[in-house]
């Protein structure tokens, strides 16, 4: 028995250190959260000043006073000028776009996190549950290797390997690193960044430099060890994301059970009559008029949320509830007019999507876009990398 346990542990360690766990799921959540933030920022471009800028009801001085007590990170507190706000808002859009495309994903993920935290912490009372999820996941994505597939980074790596120069110097990456180093020196010297965040950014900068140096001058065992550490950190980040999503649904479901509003159906009935949450009033009122529909949606929501964490023990049950939850969020987007909240939650749910489905969907989408007519077939060369995908994730 001890020998079998040792072999099991050894296989597990080899798996999480020797391969990138669930690269396709990681790519999907990277694309999902980046797309959510990008669409939200573009949608709110005409209202950006009222949300996060100098024209916000939550003034710069009020935000600074609050941040002085909770020590939240936001670069918008560095200056109250409109020019600085426009630079930060535009930078947040660009970082979301670069992360969506998978361009220099390590750097893009870091700047994406900075953009998300800066805007949300500037006006903490402007967000909803979807913003909270995005806030948390933006931090986790920094530790995940989210550009291994379906990214410009992976395409560039394949091209270099095909050309026989996998270790070619990445001049663009060097320029980005140098620019980041100059900016970090400046903000640290002026005291704009200090304490935990200063240490975190310096560690990130040093890790990027070490990664490049090992790839350039120590491509043997040192780089292999560094790759194992990166895989282990990635696996930890993915595990935390999985646990976080389970906690979100478990907490939501159990709190709903304890509240009378979800027992008598009023938690759904009243929002369907609030003007701010009824983009289609006639449809919302039609749903609310049916006691059976209200009961089914109310109790169905509670049952699905409470049961979902336990269904991870059974793949088929998990997939069924995953479809139900995604349909529920799609219904929230249409019925209650909360598209960004729903997109954020669907992106979080995507971490549980089966690898076979993701590969089938990608193959089908590629075939349709290229006009080749191939549908539903997964190329053989794309099945092999996923042999080490996490069984927990599907």
DSSP 9-40: HHHHHHHHHHS-SSHHHHHHHHHHHHHHHHHH
- Record the tokens describing residue 191, joined without a space: 């005291």
The DSSP element (H or E) to which 176 belongs, if any, is helix 171-189
Based on the fold, state whether residues 149 and 46 are members of the same structural domain.
yes
Write down the pTM of the prediction: 0.90
Same domain, 158 and 254: no
Report the alpha-carbon distance of residue 238 to residue 7 in Å, rounded.
23
Instruction: List the single range of 27-31, 114-118, 279-283 with lowest mean pLDDT.
Output: 279-283
> Would you tell me the crossing angle of helices 221-258 and 23-43 to the nearest 10 degrees?
60
Instruction: Kindly tell me the number of DSSP H helices and DSSP E strands found in the chain.
Output: 18, 0
Encode pLDDT of 236-278 as tens digits.
999 999 999 999 999 999 888 887 888 888 899 999 999 888 8
Task: Determine if residue 186 is left, alpha or beta; phi over 0 gives left, psi from -120 to 50 gives alpha, anything else beta.
Answer: alpha
* Residues 24 and 141 reside in one and the same domain: yes
Same domain, 380 and 278: yes
Asked whether the predicted pLDDT for residue 6 surpasses 80, the reply is no
Asked if 119 and 76 touch (Cβ cutoff 8 Å), the reply is: yes
- Predicted confidence at residue 379, as pLDDT, reads 46
Asked whether residue 33 is assigned to any structural domain, the reply reads: yes
82 part of a folded domain: yes
List the one residue out of 367, 328, 369 whose CA is nearest residue 346. 328
Instruction: Give the pLDDT mean for 126-142.
Output: 93
Specify whether 143 is located in the same domain as 28.
yes
User: Which residues contact residue 232 at a Cβ distance below 8 angstroms, ignoring those fewer than 6 apart?
Assistant: 16, 17
pLDDT of residue 99 exceeding 70, the answer is yes
- The CA–CA distances, whole Å, from 203 to 111, 222, 225, 269 equal 15, 19, 18, 50
Residue finishing a domain among 167, 198, 214: 167
Higher local confidence (pLDDT), 355 or 370: 355
Q: Judge whether 104 lies within some domain.
A: yes
Q: Are residues 48 and 151 in the same domain?
A: yes
pLDDT greater at residue 91 or residue 254: 91
Give mean pLDDT, residues 302-324. Answer: 91
Q: Assess whether 135 and 260 both reside in one domain.
A: no
Same domain, 21 and 119: yes
Containing 67, the helix (H) or strand (E) segment is helix 60-70
Assign 2 a pLDDT band (cuts: 50, 70, 90): low
Q: Would you say residue 226 lies in a domain?
A: no
In 3D space, the residue among 41, 51, 48, 26 whose CA is nearest the CA of residue 137 turns out to be 26
- pLDDT on residue 372: 54
What is d(CA 207, CA 217) in angstroms, rounded to the nearest whole number?
Answer: 15
Rounded to the nearest 5 percent, the helix, strand and coil shares of the chain are 80, 0, 20
Q: Which of 167, 182, 206 is the last residue of a domain?
A: 167
The residue with greater pLDDT, 203 or 4, is 203
Residues 154 and 266 both lie in one domain:
no
Residue 47 lies in a domain: yes
3-state DSSP of 207-257: HHHHHHHHHHHCCCHHHHHHHHHHHHHHHHHHHHHHHHHHHHHHHHHHHHH
Assess whether 163 and 255 both reside in one domain. no
The phi, psi pair for 80, rounded to 5°, reads -100, 15
* Residue 379 is assigned to a structural domain of this protein: yes
Residue 168: band (very low, low, confident or very high) from pLDDT cuts 50, 70, 90: low
pLDDT value of residue 265: 87
Among 167, 197, 229, give the residue marking a domain's end: 167
Residue 65 vs residues 59, 60, 69, 83, 282: alpha-carbon distances, Å: 10, 9, 7, 22, 44
User: Given a cut of 50, is residue 124 above it in pLDDT?
Assistant: yes
Mean pLDDT of 83-102: 97
What's the domain range around 99?
17-167
Total domains present in the chain: 2
Asked if residue 142 is part of any domain, the answer here is: yes
> Does 24 share its domain with 163?
yes
pLDDT band for position 385 (cuts 50, 70, 90): very low
Q: With CA atoms as reference, report the closest residue to 383 among 59, 139, 24.
A: 24
Lowest-confidence segment of 331-335, 359-363, 368-372 by average pLDDT: 368-372
Report the pLDDT value the prediction gives residue 394, as an integer from 0 to 100: 39
Mean pLDDT of the chain: 88
Using pLDDT thresholds of 50, 70 and 90, give the confidence band for residue 155: very high
Q: What pLDDT band is residue 383 in, cutting at 50, 70 and 90?
A: very low
Does any domain span residue 214?
Answer: no
């Amino acid at each position: 028995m001890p020998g079998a346990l040792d072999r099991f542990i050894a296989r597990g360690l080899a798996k999480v250190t020797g391969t990138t766990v669930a690269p396709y799921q990681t790519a999907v959540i990277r694309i999902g959260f980046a797309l959510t933030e990008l669409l939200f920022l573009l949608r709110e471009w005409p209202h950006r000043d009222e949300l996060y800028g100098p024209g916000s009801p939550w003034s710069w001085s009020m935000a600074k006073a609050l941040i002085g007590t909770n020590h939240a990170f936001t670069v918008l507190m560095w200056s109250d000028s409109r020019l600085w706000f426009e630079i930060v808002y535009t930078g947040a859009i660009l970082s979301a776009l670069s992360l969506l495309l998978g361009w220099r994903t390590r750097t893009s993920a870091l700047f994406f996190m900075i953009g998300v935290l800066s805007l949300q912490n500037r006006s903490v009372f402007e967000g909803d549950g979807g913003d909270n999820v995005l806030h948390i996941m933006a931090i986790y994505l920094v530790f995940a290797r989210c550009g291994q597939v379906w990214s410009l980074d992976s395409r560039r790596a394949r091209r270099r390997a095909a050309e026989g120069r996998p270790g070619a110097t990445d001049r663009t990456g060097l320029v980005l690193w140098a620019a980041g180093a100059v900016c970090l020196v400046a903000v640290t010297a002026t005291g704009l960044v200090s304490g935990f965040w200063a240490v975190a950014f310096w560690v990130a900068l040093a890790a990027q430099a070490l990664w490049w140096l090992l790839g350039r001058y120590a491509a043997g065992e040192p780089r292999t060890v560094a790759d194992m550490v990166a895989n282990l950190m990635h696996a930890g980040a993915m595990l935390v994301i999985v646990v976080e999503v389970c906690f979100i649904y478990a907490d939501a479901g159990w709190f709903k059970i304890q509240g009378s509003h979800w027992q008598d159906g009023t938690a759904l009935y009243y929002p369907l009559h609030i003007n701010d949450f009824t983009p289609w009033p006639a449809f919302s009122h039609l749903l609310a008029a049916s006691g059976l529909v209200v009961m089914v949606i109310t109790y169905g929501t509670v049952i699905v949320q409470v049961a979902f964490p336990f269904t991870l023990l059974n793949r088929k049950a998990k997939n069924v509830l995953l479809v139900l939850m995604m349909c529920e969020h799609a219904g929230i987007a249409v019925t209650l007019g909360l598209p960004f909240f729903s997109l954020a939650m669907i992106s979080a749910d995507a971490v549980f999507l089966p690898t076979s489905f993701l590969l089938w969907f990608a193959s089908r989408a590629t075939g349709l876009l290229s006009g080749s007519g191939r549908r539903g077939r997964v190329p053989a060369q794309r099945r092999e990398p996923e042999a080490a995908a996490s069984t927990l994730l599907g």
